[in-house]
Every structure is written in C-alpha cells, then in structure tokens.
Amino acid sequence: MNFFKRREKLRERLKEEGADAFLTLYSPHLFYLTGFECEGAFLLLKGEGFLFTDYRYLPQKNGEEEWKFVGVEKDLLSKLKEKVKELKISTIAFEEEHISVKMRKELNKFRKIKWKGTSGWVEEERMCKDKDELNRIFKAVKIAQDVMKEVPIYLNEFLSERDLAIEIEYLLRKKGSDTLPFPPIVASGGNSSLPHARPQKDIIEKGPLIVDIGAKVEGYCSDITLTFFLGSQSRKWKERENLIDEAIERAISLIEPGKEVKEVFQEISSFFQKNRVRENFLHALGHGVGIEVHERPYLSWREKGKFRVGMVFTIEPGLYFPGEGGIRKEIMVYINEKGKPVKIGEEKNGICGY
C-alpha cells in the first residue's frame, strides 16, 4: 500500500489550511498513515513525520518509511511536547472527533501552540480503497462466507445461541481471520427482533435465526449477515424475505458515483413505507467497511457525501417485529473503476432456509 501517497495528500491539506503539522492519536489512522498497528501518536509535518509509540512496536518498522520512530517509555505527552518545541512548530491541526476532553486539556498546556480542530481529513481518503486494500477486504469476505456456509451443519444439534457464536469464532480464526472485528451475532426467535442482540444461553428457537459475522485480514474487515429458518418458513416470513431481497436489488440499481448516499437510503425507506413495514426498518441501510468494521460512508439520512469509485460498504436491510423475530441480509459491495456497484463474493443464495 502506498502510505507515502496518503501522507502527501494530508500535507496538501496542511498547505491549504496554513498549519505547520497534523497530529493524530487515533489508532486506525496511525495504521492508515504508517502501516503500523499500535497505540500512540503520529505527527506529520510538511517534510517529515514522527511516530510516537511504545518501544515494543519497534521491530515492526521495515526501514523504508520517511517518518521517524520516537520511542515512548512512560509519558507520551512529554515526548510529544519535546519534539514540538525542538521543531519550533506554531500551528498544529488535530482531529477533534478523535480526542478526549482530558487529552484536549493536556494539549492546551503546550506553550505557544495554536491548535486547529479538523474533521474528516483522513476519513475522506479512507472511504476509497486502493487495490491492496480491496484485496485484503476480499480475503476477509471469503473467510466469513466460507464460515457462513458451515453454519447449517450445526443447526441439527441442540445448540444455544452462545455455543454457536463460540463455534463461529473458532471457525473464523481457523480459516484465517487475524482477529475478529466484532463478536458474532447469533439471534433466534424473539431475540432476533433486536438488531444487535447478544447471543443467549438458551437453546436456539425455531423460526428466524440471524447470524452476523466478520473476519479481519492484515488490518481490513468484512461484515456479512444471513437469516436462516429453523423449521418450516411461513408465508408471512417468506413475504418479508422477498422484501429484503428486493430492497437489496433496488439499492444496488440506484448506486452510482456522484449520487448522494442519503438518497439511496431514502429510496429504500420509501419502498418499505409503501409495503407498510417502515416502522420495522430500524437502522441504516449499510455502512462503509475497511480498517474499521463501521466507517464512512454511512448509508443513512445523515451522510453528507456522495458515492465514489473505490468505496466499499454493506447493504443490510433488516425488518424487526417485536415478539416475533427479525430478518436481515447483509452483503458487501464495492464500486469498481467503471463506476458499477459489484457484490463481493458469491451472494446468489440469498437468505438461506433450513
């Protein structure tokens, strides 16, 4: 991945905003700008950069970066203050959305420094993935899909939701996930009416079973969901399933570069409204996926951006009926070089009946 190019784009922002340096303490952005998975801080100047982190991370550095490593034994702020004074920096742009109130107070103690709050500088760049990022995401999706194919094997057993979630965790790691981007969601019966239900210790109930899982490969995530049915699927649930599938296809047909993201959400909301289930559609239509499992763009009415080539996101319409259960399908999509939204992996089986 071209980390240098990423840093150069930030340097262009520094020139535009008239700041001497950019500071981030947000771990996903440390990784995005340096390739270094760690905690600490990264100070980017117009001609150089400094990564402040624990000495134990030093072996990760490959020696090819133009930025310098600053080892931190105890006090990050003291090291940072020393370097800022040494470099005679006067204006520092910082990420106001990724800093605690306590840290902000500490930074205010830096003498003769003007702090310039910024928002979205790195997030704007992260939304569009390069080929290396896409390759890692594709691998993470493949792992999750392979595990999902094995879920029906376990449904003949008298498992609890929690037991199945534990088995899924094991399979994700066994098939190549570095860590898990989030704990698997396994929700049956009435529990499936909660979008982010926690797996329970009770035996899996008949009816809808939502399974939401993800994997992580070399710092990049996947996130997919299927709804299985234990026992016979009633006509009512089949109709709901058809609405979910139609919503996904409608959304994909609407997506194109330059279109407002929130417009697609609004279209699908209207579709559910016409079918008298809008009140059962409880969350966004989807979200970006990359270094974090939830990142921009968010396919909701709040998103202010437009679709762009290289974006990777989920489409995950869900309908939830209190006391009955829920149904959700989540696929991952990216916008290719031709501006076409493309499903990642084999999604043709849709929501699986069992």
Topology match between the domains 3-124 and 131-343? no
- Mean pLDDT across 307-322: 97
CB atoms < 10 A from the CB of 179, how many? 11
Q: Are 295 and 123 in contact (CB under 8 A)?
A: yes
Q: What is the distance between the alpha carbons of residues 335 and 343, in angstroms, rounded to a whole number? A: 9
pLDDT at 56 over 90: no
Question: What is the model's pLDDT at position 62?
Answer: 53
CATH of the domain spanning 3-124? 3.40.350.10
Question: What is the model's pLDDT at position 232?
Answer: 87
What are the residue ranges spanned by the domains of the chain?
A: 3-124, 131-343
Considering the domain 131-343, what is its CATH architecture?
Alpha-Beta Complex (3.90)
The tokens describing 330, both together, are 């989540």
Predicted TM-score (pTM) of the model is: 0.92
Question: What is the model's pLDDT at position 63?
Answer: 55
pLDDT, tens only, 321-341: 998 999 999 999 999 999 999
Question: What is the model's pLDDT at position 350?
Answer: 37
Question: What is the model's pLDDT at position 352?
Answer: 36
- Mean pLDDT across 210-230: 97
pLDDT at 60 over 70: no
pLDDT at 168 over 90: yes
Burial class of 93 by CB neighbour count within 10 A (0 to 12, 13 to 18, 19+)? buried
Q: What is the distance between the alpha carbons of residues 74 and 97, in angstroms, rounded to a whole number? A: 25
Pairing mode, strands 91-95 and 21-24: parallel
| Residue at 7: amino acid letter | R
Question: What is the model's pLDDT at position 65?
Answer: 66
pLDDT, tens only, 114-166: 999 999 999 999 999 999 999 999 999 999 999 999 999 998 777 899 999 99
Question: What is the model's pLDDT at position 347?
Answer: 40
pLDDT, tens only, 265-297: 999 999 999 999 999 999 999 999 999 999 999
Percent of the chain surpassing pLDDT 70? 95
Cβ neighbors of 102 (< 8 A, separation 6 or more) are none
The tokens describing 138, both together, are 């594709």
Question: What is the model's pLDDT at position 354?
Answer: 31
Question: What is the model's pLDDT at position 11?
Answer: 95
